């Protein structure tokens, strides 16, 4: 039997679809070799360049998902034996490094505590020691979705420049693009990659990359075998307004609408909304007396919060009760965080009242699972914060308790 009322999908992606996006996709299947494609694709690629904040980067669209985008970034820029620098700061950082390794890269995966970001000073040290410039790329997950940590990509770029190292900078923006400030040009990124199902407010189904002239050059030089994710024929066809094979046509219509929405709201406002909603959630978590996995407030993610449950509690019980009793889906703890952490997604098409309802639901699920939280207190902390924001009072960022 279908549960009545709205399903609260508050996982850190896929996110809820705006009705406008849904309606834009509710149409007959177009001919992907037909006359309407070039105009559609041109608007989509131009809109994406604005969202990536680039003039020099080229946008490439594949059918796929974030994982496919990882593969595309690797097979087009690296050859077997190439040395790569990566940091083990969470499940997705680890998997991205593993993707490079499976294609033959010699990956230096630096172990770090999960809940911290990419340490720019270590990037500097490693690259500085590499006098022969054997590292060909540095991999960074901008927003680590398993831990709720946003790394400082600009600082990584500065470290690479200070070390005078020519490695490419490959950045996963799967859970940050369109929600958290990301600047392809200013931060000297060579490849940025994502899917469609998070900040871009679409169903899953595409892998999107933004590629710098240097990365394009590299893709001509590397001899790695590639076919589906070869970005050279894809880019050549995309520039003409077409695809070398069947694209996710309906998603393109949804993407055009979602980009119009993001750009109409204004990127600055989109980022500010995510920052505000995230802070409301963090205030609630802190009022409950629970720990946020990310310990440095400068690295708090504005798209999700990973909450550590007290010893003796199981985060998956909280998730199960939230789903069964309240029709609220939260993110599970991934990898070694399973059972210890649950994740509240607060990204995409979302506003204050939806966040308040989510916080109320989490509070209730915690109580049902035996975690002693005072009912109403998290909601109140969140409301107080939103009240300050809405009345224009100056507000800061919550500090770890």
Q: How far apart are CA 146 and CA 201, in angstroms?
A: 19
Q: In 229-283, which ranges are E strands?
A: none
User: Which residue, 21 or 72, is less far from ligand PLP as judged by CB?
Assistant: 72
Pattern 140-169, binding to ligand PLP, x per CB under 6 A?
-x---x------------------------
Q: Under the criterion CB under 6 A, does residue 124 sit at the interface with ligand PLP?
A: no
Q: Under the criterion CB under 6 A, does residue 11 sit at the interface with ligand PLP?
A: no
Helices (H) and strands (E) in the chain, counts: 13, 14
Of the residues 8, 62, 87, 92, which one makes contact with ligand PLP according to CB under 6 A: 92
Helix axes 315-326, 352-368, angle to 10 degrees: 110
| Closest distance of CB 175 from ligand PLP, Å | 4
In the block, residue with structure tokens 């990124």: 189
Q: Under the criterion CB under 6 A, does residue 67 sit at the interface with ligand PLP?
A: yes
Burial class (CB in 10 A: 0-12, 13-18, 19+), 275: middle
Q: Under the criterion CB under 6 A, does residue 65 sit at the interface with ligand PLP?
A: yes
In the block, residue with structure tokens 């070398």: 244
In the chain the first and final C-alpha atoms are separated, in Å, by: 43
Q: How far apart are CA 305 and CA 149, in angstroms?
A: 8
Size of the site for ligand PLP (CB under 6 A): 12
Q: Considering only CA atoms, which of 341, 366, 353, 348 is closest in space to residue 280?
A: 353
Instruction: Tokens for 288, please give them.
Output: 């409950």
From the list 63-71, 162-170, 369-377, 381-389, the region that binds ligand PLP by CB under 6 A is: 63-71
Distances (CA, A) of 166 to 84, 348, 364: 12, 35, 52
Q: Under the criterion CB under 6 A, does residue 303 sit at the interface with ligand PLP?
A: no
From the list 60-68, 184-192, 340-348, 360-368, the region that binds ligand PLP by CB under 6 A is: 60-68
User: Which residue, 14 or 119, is less far from ligand PLP as judged by CB?
Assistant: 14
Enumerate residues 168-227 that contact ligand PLP by CB under 6 A: 172, 174-175, 195, 204
| Closest distance of CB 230 from ligand PLP, Å | 19
Q: How far apart are CA 10 and CA 224, in angstroms?
A: 39
User: Which residue, 12 or 119, is less far from ligand PLP as judged by CB?
Assistant: 12
User: Which residue, 141 or 168, is less far from ligand PLP as judged by CB?
Assistant: 141
Please give the residue ranges that form the binding site for ligand PLP (CB under 6 A): 13, 65-67, 92, 141, 145, 172, 174-175, 195, 204
């Amino acid at each position: 039997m279908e549960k009545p009322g709205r399903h609260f999908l508050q996982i850190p992606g896929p996110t809820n679809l705006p009705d406008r996006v849904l309606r834009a996709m509710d149409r007959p299947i177009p001919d992907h070799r037909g006359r309407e494609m070039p105009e559609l694709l041109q608007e989509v690629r131009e809109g994406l360049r604005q969202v990536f904040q680039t003039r020099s980067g080229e946008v490439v669209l594949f059918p796929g998902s974030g994982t496919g985008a990882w593969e595309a970034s690797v097979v087009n820029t690296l050859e077997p034996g190439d040395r790569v620098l990566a940091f083990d700061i969470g499940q997705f950082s680890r998997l991205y490094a593993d993707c490079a390794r499976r294609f033959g890269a010699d990956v230096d995966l630096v172990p770090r505590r999960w809940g911290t970001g990419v340490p720019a000073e270590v990037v500097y040290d490693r690259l500085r020691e590499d006098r022969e410039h054997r590292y060909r790329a540095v991999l960074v997950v901008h927003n680590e979705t398993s831990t709720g940590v946003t790394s400082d990509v600009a600082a990584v770029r500065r470290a690479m420049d200070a070390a005078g190292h020519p490695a490419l900078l490959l950045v996963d923006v799967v859970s940050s693009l369109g929600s958290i400030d990301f600047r392809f040009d200013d931060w000297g990124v060579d490849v940025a990659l994502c899917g469609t199902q998070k900040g871009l407010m679409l169903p899953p189904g595409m892998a999107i990359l933004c590629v710098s002239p240097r990365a394009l050059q590299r893709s001509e030089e590397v001899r790695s075998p590639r076919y589906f994710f070869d970005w050279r024929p894809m880019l050549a066809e995309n520039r003409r307004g077409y695809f070398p094979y069947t694209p996710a046509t309906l998603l393109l219509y949804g993407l055009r609408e979602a980009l119009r929405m993001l750009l109409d709201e204004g990127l600055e406002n989109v980022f500010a909304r995510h920052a505000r909603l995230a802070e409301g959630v963090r205030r609630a978590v802190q009022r409950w007396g629970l720990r946020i996995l990310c310990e440095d407030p400068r690295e708090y993610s504005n798209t999700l919060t990973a909450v550590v449950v007290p010893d003796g509690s199981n985060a998956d019980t909280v998730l199960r009760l939230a789903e069964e009793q309240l029709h609220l889906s939260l993110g599970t703890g991934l990898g070694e965080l399973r059972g210890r952490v649950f994740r509240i997604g607060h990204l995409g098409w979302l506003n204050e009242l939806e966040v308040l309802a989510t916080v109320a639901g989490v509070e209730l699920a915690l109580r049902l699972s035996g975690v002693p939280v005072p009912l109403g207190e998290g909601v109140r902390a969140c409301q107080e914060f939103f009240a300050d924001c809405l009345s224009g009072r100056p507000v800061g960022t919550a500090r770890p308790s």
